[in-house]
Structure 1
Amino acid sequence: MDNQIQIENYKIQKPESWAGNVEDQELINRIKDSDFAKKQIEEGRDYCYFLDKKYYTSNTENSEYVCMAYTLNEPANLERASVTDIVVEENEVYNIHRISVLREGVLIDKLPDTKIKVLDSENQSSGGVLSSNKKINITIKDLRLYDVLILEDSRIKPFTDRDFLRKDFSKYVWVSPDNYWAYGNFKFTFINDRDEQIAYKKTFFRDEKGDVLQPEINYLKKGEKFIIEEENYINPVDAGREIFPFVDFATDKNWTELSNYFAPIYEEIFNKSSLKDFAPNLVEKLDAIIDQDEKLQFAIEYVQNNIYYIFNADEMNGHKPQEPSVTFENKQGDCKAKCVLLKVILDYIGVDSSVVLVNFHTDYYIKYYLPSLLSFNHVVVKINYKGEEYFVDATIRDEFGLIENRGFIYFMHYLEAKPNQNLSTRKAYKYPYYCVDEKVEFNAQNTTGILKLTTTYKGNRANAMRRYFKNTNKREVVDSWNNFLFYSLNYSSDRNGTDLRDIFKDALIDIVSDDKKLNEFKIHYHAKIENPYYVDHQKNRFLMYFDRNLVKASARDFMHKDLPFWHNFDSEKYEISLYTDQKIDTEEKYTVQESTINNPYFDFTSRKKITKNGATVNIEYKPLVNLEIPQNDFETFRTDHHTVADSNFGLGIDIIEPGLMNMLKFSFKKRFK
């Protein structure tokens, strides 16, 4: 072997007793080219002769064991097998039991051909992400196409004092294997060696017709095992439209018991020291602000912008937060630390708040999971103010506005750091303002058009645009708007391939105002356009402006059997005016077409005013967001979005060309239309 020194992050040794022991001849006997195997290999599918996976949990460690043999019949698969990276957490050890290949019926030990390097798994420290993880790089020499690679390894994670939550609670989610692979034998075993009973919940398993079965909950006492085993197995899940079956394992507790476990941890930290004692200068600034709304805004933005966010992966494994005095003194902390400091400040100014646990990434699944504190990976602050609930992420920077004008965080489930709590579900939300309020004016005179856009952004949109304009080159910003307008004005249909800077002459975009209390960011765009009309193949001229942001493609195209549609669109308002010195068709169907949609999940209206030389449309889109659309309501929801897309997301006017023949042509067209 190429390694002279044994490094503590990995070892080469035999498996633990709970994992069992596999002899060489047993491996060879299990690698048989059955009719099923031959069929998969002939079809070009990567084939796994067997996969034996075991998860072991006790009050002192979590461990995972894998023994598998799979084909290297594809060059890409051979490349991936030749060089592998294994990331281990602090105090976790990667144990290598066997690396072999079966080549032309002969079992060959590849450990002598294996080179192992241990690297720091650290590439984001400049962004405040700290981790003691290590990356174990494994390179296997002389792997050949059509080898059968045999890997046997395990990961052992002994608990330290820092892992007090893992000591007290178990959490593991088994997900059915990728449906790309075919398996001769697939086996998963969960071994409970803890003193506490572990519950397990089977979810999204299906019957022979493919219909989802009701979730099934059972229990494992100390020393008991849960086993899933399949022969000649290909996962039948339609990955694009179905959720993979999974089994959730968790220490048998309810939400109230869990909240009573961790709420005292936070309460102790809240009461460690007084804000007056460790932050007198901050208290002085707070006391100097008379208006309570402004005081609340200052408190939130102080923690967001003045306390540096450090994500310490090791400390996030537990739920014990840093003391607020330490966070304030060091001017840095993770999400728990920042939220605790914010709550202490809010307590001082008399604003009711609480720390809540969330998981934005797996929010949808929390309602299916068994109760567990280990289901959460983030902490935010819930604020009750003037009869409304607000949620603030203390780790975000450059957010502005009085509390009612700040950005909205999308998620549904949370657990408060208070005694006797249950899992809470947020209410649906309707924006009290328009996230985008835009006025468009396009005036065509002779062969020139003047285009003006004035846009006001609020909430999340204001924060995002403020950052975009701050961090983006001015020329790039203008080009981005030009590109959007190229499609909105339908120039993509008659002058595709033309340099946009040659179409939108003298284009300028300026920030008109930036109100940090209202959280309103207002911009103005101006450009001159030669040949402003879109011209079709019959040489007919049109003025068009259709804002495709109003067409919600994700709603129209959504197809999933298990996942409901997550509704998170912004509220929008547009006033679009098109003027010309030419005569227009004031009765053209799509020019005069208006719409009113009153869906339970969004209201949409378009109203028009037509004159002999132009038209104006006012469009308002008001969604009810932060909710899942029930499947029974979704087709109507989709149909209503198709209605929006049916020429109700903008305005178009037809030019009546001057001259007797053109007038006769127009009259003939109207008569037989």
Structure 2
Amino acid sequence: MEQAIQTEIYKIQKPEQWASDIDDAQLIDYIKESEFSQKQADEGRDYCYFLDKIYYTTDNENSEYACLAYTLNEPSNLERASVVDVVLEENETYVIHRISVLRDGVLVDKIADTKIKILDSENQSGGGVLSSNKKINLTIKDLRLYDILIMEDSRIKIFTERDFLRKEFSKYVWVGPDSYWAYGKYKFTFKNDREKTIAYKKTFFRDQDGNVLEPEINYLKKGEQFVIEENNYINFVDSNREVSPFIDFATEGNWKEFSNYISPIYEDIFTKSSLTEFAPKLIEKLDAISDKDEQLQFAIEYVQNHINYIYNADEMNGHKPQEPAVTYENKQGDCKAKSVLLKVVLDYLGIDSSIVLVNFNTDFYMKYYLPSLLTFNHVIVKINYKGESYFIDATTRDEFGLIENRGFIYFMHYLEVTPNLELQIKPPHLFSYYAVDEKSALFVENNIGKLKLTTIYKGNRANNMRKYFKNTNKREIIDSWNNFFFYTLNYNNDRNGTDLRNIFKDAVIEIVSDDKKSNEFKIEYKSTIENPYFTDAKNNRFLMYFDRNIVKNTARDFIHKDITFWHNFDNERYEISLFTDQKIDVTEKFTIQESTIKNPYFDFVSRKKISKNGGIISVDYKPLVNLEIPEKDFEDFRTAHHEVADSNFGIGVDIIEDGFLNKLKFNFKKHFN
């Protein structure tokens, strides 16, 4: 067997005392065919004869053990089994106990045929993200179809001094196994060997009819264990519509206790930090700004853009915040360091702020989890200014604007690092501005269309669009807008397959203005279109402009039994003008149709002005955001969005062709349609 030099990253030895002790005879006994296993083979699925998983936690280590045996009847599974990657945290050891195959009833040791490499994990190495993780790469030679592969291994994480949170608290989430696999025997064991009691909460378990059961909370004292054991088991969760059952294990406690634990750690950092001592040059720049709003903008953008974001996943929950003097001197730090520095600057300016713990990835599940500081994976800053609360992510780059114009962060749950606080809920939000304010016009004369679009982006949209224009090739940008108009003007239904650059002649797009204080980014697009009318199969001509961005298909198509719809749309306003030198049908339904939709979660109003040669539609959309739509309200919410999609997201005009027969046809249509 080939071994790398850094043998301390992995070992080959027997399992620890807390793990299972399975000898070869027991292994062979566990691997038996049955009616259940045969059924899986008949269906062309691979099969796991047994899976034995153990999670073991003490005040000094977190470790996991697994032993499993599964078939290699599918070529794709054989390929995956031949090369295995194991990513390890800092100071974590991978221990190999057994790599074997059962081939024709004979147990064959494959450790000698296994090549082991130690690599730096590159999963999170870009954009200022650093990781000291190591990756163990196992390549197992001479695996064959219809082998039964047996893997037995452990991961042992010994805590260092900076793992103080994980020494003090435990958190582990068990999730129901992959629904692809069928298990002859499935066993999971959680062993608590900590001094403190661990609570566990069973959530999204179901009865025989598939109904979700009420969550169940129990406790494990030191030396106690929790076991799930199933025979002939398949996890039948419909992952597209259901949340898989999970069990949250966490050191017993409540949010007030945890806020009281973490607050002094941060307060100790603040009391030692004097901006006047470690950042006199920064103070000079701040003092030179007389306007308080602009001081605040400068402070935020200084920390965001001049302090490099270095994120080490191992350390997020593992060590105390870096002192702001060090962050300022080195011009780098993780989210905790950057947030603490920003708060120290705001304290100097006399602006009220606090450190906030969040986890955007698992925000939905926060209401189901047990209280735990280890639930959070990110730190941001809450700023109270002029009667409003704002949340600022100090790790974000290239954001601009006075605080009321900056990007909005969508999330619900957070823990403010202040004594005696419960988990907080960020309230629903109504924007005071339009994130998209757009005017588009198509004027047609002598069968030539002049198309012009002017858009003002604000807030998150301005930040994102500014980055897009900065980082994207100009020709690619124009093609993107051409593609948008190809569908918006319905050309996909009468000239599909045509090169867009031959349809939208001389297309140009320019940045008109970029106001970094109001955070407004304005662009203008222009093009010329020969034969701008959409022509149907009967040679009827139309001008059509239906902007599908107005239709929120994520709301219309949302289907999930367990997860509620997260409402995070922007305020938008549109004015669309279509005019031609031809006469139009001023009575056509889709030309004159207007709408007023007042749902508790959004208002949508469309109004039109129609003349003999065209029309203008104004669309105003204002949602209440940063909230989950309750299940009882969702169908009405969906129906309201269907109404928007019922031709209320644009305008179309029918051309009345010259000539007696054409006018006769029009009159017939008018009276009998």
- Return the TM-score normalized by structure 2: 0.99
* Corresponding letter in the other structure for 2:609: K
Q: Which residue of 1 aligns with 2:550?
A: 550
Q: What is the 5 A alignment of 1:159-238? A: 159-238=159-238
The whole-number CA distance in structure 1 between the counterparts of 2:314 and 2:611 is 67
Unaligned stretches of 5+ residues in structure 1: none
Counterpart of 1:477 in structure 2: which amino acid?
I
Match of residue 660 from structure 2: 660
**Matched-pair contact (CA < 8 Å) for 1:255–1:372:** yes
Counterpart in 1 of 2:472?
472
Shift of 1:319: 4.7
Cα deviation for residue 84 of structure 1 reads: 0.5
Decide whether the 8 Å contact of 1:262 with 1:319 is kept in 2.
no
2:21 aligns with 21
Kindly indicate whether residue 437 of structure 2 is the aligned counterpart of residue 437 of structure 1: yes
The equivalent of 1:640 in structure 2 is 640
> What is the rounded CA distance, in whole Å, between the counterparts of 1:533 and 1:568 in structure 2?
36
Residue 130 of structure 1: aligned partner = 130
Aligned to 1:96: 96
Amino acid at match of 1:220: L
Contact kept in structure 1, 2:73 and 2:146, CA below 8 Å: yes
Provide the C-alpha distance between the structure 1 equivalents of 2:560 and 2:551, rounded to a whole number of angstroms.
20
Partner of 2:505: 505
Inter-CA distance 158–492: structure 2 relative to 1 (3 Å threshold): same
1:147 is displaced (CA, Å) by 0.6
Q: Distance in 1 between matches of 2:303 and 2:578?
A: 47
Structure-2 separation of matches of 1:118 and 1:329: 34
2:373 matches 1:373: yes
Distance 1:314 1:86 in 2: 15
* 2: CA distance, partners of 1:114 / 1:403: 57
Shift in CA distance, 552/6, structure 1 to aligned 2, threshold 3 Å: closer
Cα contact 1:202–1:247 (8 A) shared by 2: yes
Aligned-pair CA distance for 1:119: 1.1
Q: CA deviation at 1:2?
A: 2.6
Residue correspondence of structure 1 range 483-494 to structure 2 within 5 A: 483-494=483-494
SS in 2 for 1:497: coil
**Residue 245 of structure 2: aligned partner:** 245
Query: Is 1:393 equivalent to 2:428 in the alignment?
Result: no
Residue-by-residue CA offset, 1:307-357 (whole Å, 9 max, x unaligned): 011112232132511000110111110000000000000011111000000
Aligned to 2:534: 534
1:405 aligned partner: 405
Which amino acid letter does the alignment assign opposite residue 19 of structure 2? A
Cα deviation, 1:480-529, whole Å, max 9, x if unaligned, reads: 10010110000010001111111111111111111111100011111110
- After the TM superposition, list the runs of 4 or more consecutive aligned residues in structure 1 that deviate by more than 2 angstroms: 1-6, 122-127
Match of 2:318 in 1: 318
| Cross-structure match for 1:337 | 337
Matches of 1:443 and 1:577, distance apart in 2:
8
Instruction: State how far apart, in whole Å, the 2-side matches of 1:41 and 1:624 are.
Output: 52
Task: Quote the residue 2:69 is aligned against.
Answer: 69
Deviations 1:362-393 (A, max 9, x none): 11111110000000000000001111110000
Q: CA deviation at 1:90?
A: 1.0
1:3 is displaced (CA, Å) by 2.7
Alpha-carbon distance in 2 for matches of 1:179, 1:125: 31
SS at match of 1:217: strand
Q: In structure 2, what is the equivalent of residue 261 of structure 1?
A: 261
1:141 corresponds to which letter in structure 2? K
1:423 maps to a residue whose letter is L
1:173: how far off?
0.2
Q: What is the deviation of 1:162?
A: 1.2
Q: In structure 1, what is the Cα distance between the partners aligned to 2:330 and 2:146?
A: 57
Alignment of 1:26-105 (within 5 A): 26-105=26-105
CA distance, structure 1, for counterparts of residue 102 and residue 123 of structure 2: 37
Opposite residue 591 of structure 1, the aligned amino acid is: T
1:457 Cα deviation (Å)?
Answer: 0.3
Match of 1:630 in 2: 630
Distance in 2, Cα, partners of 1:128 & 1:82: 33
Q: How far did 1:233 drift? A: 0.5
**Count of residue correspondences:** 673
Checking the alignment, whether the CA contact within 8 Å between 2:273 and 2:344 is kept in structure 1 is no
- 2:292 is matched with 292
State the Cα distance separating 1:4 from its structure 2 match: 7.5
Q: CA deviation at 1:306?
A: 0.5
What letter is aligned with 1:56?
Y
Output the amino acid matched with 1:70: Y
Name stretches of at least 5 consecutive residues in structure 2 with no aligned partner.
Answer: none
User: What amino acid sits opposite 1:407 in the alignment?
Assistant: G
The alpha-carbon deviation at position 127 of structure 1 amounts to 2.4
* Distance of 2:24 and 2:665 partners within structure 1: 88
Q: Is the Cα–Cα contact under 8 Å of residues 171 and 250 in structure 2 kept in the other structure?
A: yes
Task: List per-residue Cα deviations over 1:549-579 (Å, max 9, x = no partner).
Answer: 0111111110000000001111110000100
Secondary structure in structure 1 of the residue aligned to 2:268: helix
Identity of aligned residues (%): 73
TM-score of the aligned structures, taking structure 1 as reference length: 0.99
Partners of 2:585 and 2:656 within 8 A in 1? yes
Distance (Å, rounded) in 1 between the aligned partners of 2:257 and 2:104: 58
Cα deviation digits, residues 103-123 of structure 1 (max 9, x gap): 111111111111111111136
Q: Distance in 2 between matches of 1:429 and 1:310?
A: 31
SS at match of 2:583: coil
Paired amino acid for 1:343: K
Q: Which residue of 2 aligns with 1:384?
A: 384
CA contact (8 A) 2:4 2:118 kept: no
- How far apart, in 2, do the equivalents of 1:663 and 1:133 lie? 76
Residue 374 of structure 2 aligns with an amino acid whose one-letter code is L
Against the structure 1 CA distance between its residues 6 and 501, is the aligned structure 2 distance closer, same or farther, given a 3 Å change threshold? closer
Match of 2:461 in 1: 461
Instruction: Specify the SS of the correspondent of 2:51.
Output: strand
**Residues of 1 paired with 2:70 and 2:612: CA distance?**
74
Once residues 317 and 406 of structure 2 are traced to their aligned partners in structure 1, the CA distance between those partners, rounded to angstroms, is 30
User: The residue matched to 1:561 in structure 2 has which SS?
Assistant: coil
CA contact (8 A) 2:124 2:131 kept: no
Deviates further, 270-279 or 572-581: 270-279
Alpha-carbon separation, structure 1, partners of 2:651 and 2:589: 11
1:200-236 Cα deviation digits (max 9, x unpaired) = 0000000111000000000000000000011100111
State how far apart, in whole Å, the 1-side matches of 2:669 and 2:3 are: 85
Query: 8 Å contact 2:13–2:96 — kept in the other structure?
Result: yes
Q: Is the 8 A contact 1:122 1:130 kept in 2?
A: no
TM-aligned CA deviation for residue 537 of structure 1: 0.3
* Structure 1 equivalent of residue 619 of structure 2: 619
Equivalent position amino acid for 1:105 in 2 = G
| Aligned residues of 1:116 and 1:137 also touching (Cα < 8 A) | yes
Distance across 2 between alignment mates of 1:301 and 1:266:
22
State the alpha-carbon separation in 1 of the partners of residues 603 and 48 from structure 2: 52
Give the stretch that moved more between structures: 58-67 or 264-273: 264-273
* Matching residue's letter, 2:313: A
